[in-house]
Amino acid sequence: MLRELDEAARALVAPRVVLFDWHATLVDTLDAMYHAVDETIPRFLELGLMDALITHDECKTAEDARLVDYVREHQRLHPKIMAERRISRTDIFEVLFGHNEDAKQVAHAAFNDAYRNHYGEAQPFEGGELELLIEMREFDVRLGVLTNRDREFFELELALVDDGAWVDLFETTVCGCDTGKRKPNPDPIFKALDNLGVQPGPDCWYVGDSTTDVIAAKRAGVTSVFFNGAGWDHTWINKIFPGTQRHPHQPDAIVDSFAEFKWLVEECLHVSHDWKPSEPCNTN
């Protein structure tokens, strides 16, 4: 059962570290991302990826199965998915290839080749992020970015947002090329926290817009905040986070906007639940 926002605020440990996803959470790079995905999927056949597409039995939902079938038949995304722009490329590759890490590595590399032709613009996703980030720093909350985007793209985009005003706000940034495995593997979160000298725990939050972000956070043992910037309704959110034995990972809180996230942080800091780690955690 997913918590309502006020219930989550009463239950969560106040953050001392907040790690943010990049694309579709802090910034809008949807045009470039979808152009790159549109160029990548038709290359699946030459890259040997069509045979790596998962079966219906491996799909989480009927909608996922239809996505896989459409890609297998047409070698592109359905026009509705392209028009709505609600799902990240990481989630697309997770739906298509499941636990096949080798296939996903090939797909991400092909995406990077295509993304080089389109990236170069990055705008705040909603418009109030800079003020929120500054306020969190004033609350002594340590900030970082954790993204599957490769560093060659991320650093340029970071320097562009609000004319470079975000560059000095983050103590750590971990990109897709910085660890051996990308999200939903927890290694990138462990690396970010290791960079900060902090142990994983509920006072470390990871905020992201995708199911892969939630899975990575839960596997790392940190608080997961799902940023519902795409505007999914509750029925769909419960479908993609069913809380079953096969798909157990659910977010600890769901926010529909940065205004809600700001309220959640302020409320948790006000309540200030205490938490102390029982023993050091091994992040290797």
Residue 262's pLDDT is what?
92
By C-alpha distance, which of 279, 152, 268, 162 is closest to 207?
268
Query: Taking 90 as the threshold, does the pLDDT of residue 114 lie above it?
Result: yes
127 and 110, same structural domain? no
**What is the extent of the structural domain holding 81?**
30-115
Q: What is the four-CA torsion angle of 109, 111, 112, 117, rounded to 10 degrees?
A: 150
At residue 243 the predicted structure's pLDDT band, cuts being 50, 70 and 90, is: very high
What average pLDDT does range 12-40 have in this prediction? 95
97 and 76, same structural domain? yes
Q: Distance (Å, rounded) from C-alpha 54 to C-alpha 31? A: 27
Give the tens place of pLDDT for each residue, 161-178: 999 999 999 999 999 999
Does residue 159 fall inside a structural domain? yes
266 and 130, same structural domain? yes
Does residue 181 fall inside a structural domain? yes
148 and 54, same structural domain? no
| Helix or strand holding residue 29 (H, E) | none
Tell me whether strands 123-124 and 204-208 are parallel, antiparallel or unpaired. unpaired
Q: What value does the CA radius of gyration of the chain take, rounded to a whole number of Å?
A: 18
Here the CATH number for the domain that contains residue 250 is: 3.40.50.1000
153 and 258, same structural domain? yes
184 and 148, same structural domain? yes
Does residue 278 fall inside a structural domain? no
Q: Under a CB-based contact definition with an 8 Å cutoff, are residues 37 and 162 in contact?
A: no
Q: Under a CB-based contact definition with an 8 Å cutoff, are residues 17 and 136 in contact?
A: no
Q: 250 to each of 68, 159, 211, how far by Cα in Å? A: 23, 33, 9
206 and 137, same structural domain? yes
Residue that is last in its domain, among 61, 93, 115:
115
Residue that is last in its domain, among 52, 87, 115:
115
Give the tens place of pLDDT for each residue, 120-157: 989 999 988 999 999 999 989 999 999 999 999 999 99
- 3-state DSSP helix/strand/coil percent for the chain, to nearest 5? 50, 10, 40
Q: Under a CB-based contact definition with an 8 Å cutoff, are residues 174 and 144 in contact?
A: yes
What average pLDDT does range 83-98 have in this prediction? 94
Give the tens place of pLDDT for each residue, 189-198: 999 999 999 9
Does residue 282 fall inside a structural domain? no
Q: Distance (Å, rounded) from C-alpha 270 to C-alpha 166? A: 26
Q: Under a CB-based contact definition with an 8 Å cutoff, are residues 60 and 26 in contact?
A: no
41 and 20, same structural domain? no
Does residue 192 fall inside a structural domain? yes
84 and 189, same structural domain? no
172 and 52, same structural domain? no
Does residue 191 fall inside a structural domain? yes
Q: What is the four-CA torsion angle of 244, 248, 252, 258, rounded to 10 degrees?
A: -90
Q: Under a CB-based contact definition with an 8 Å cutoff, are residues 226 and 259 in contact?
A: no
157 and 266, same structural domain? yes
At residue 106 the predicted structure's pLDDT band, cuts being 50, 70 and 90, is: very high
Residue that is last in its domain, among 99, 115, 131:
115
252 and 132, same structural domain? yes
Domain count of the fold of the chain: 2
Does residue 38 fall inside a structural domain? yes
Does residue 281 fall inside a structural domain? no
What average pLDDT does range 200-212 have in this prediction? 97
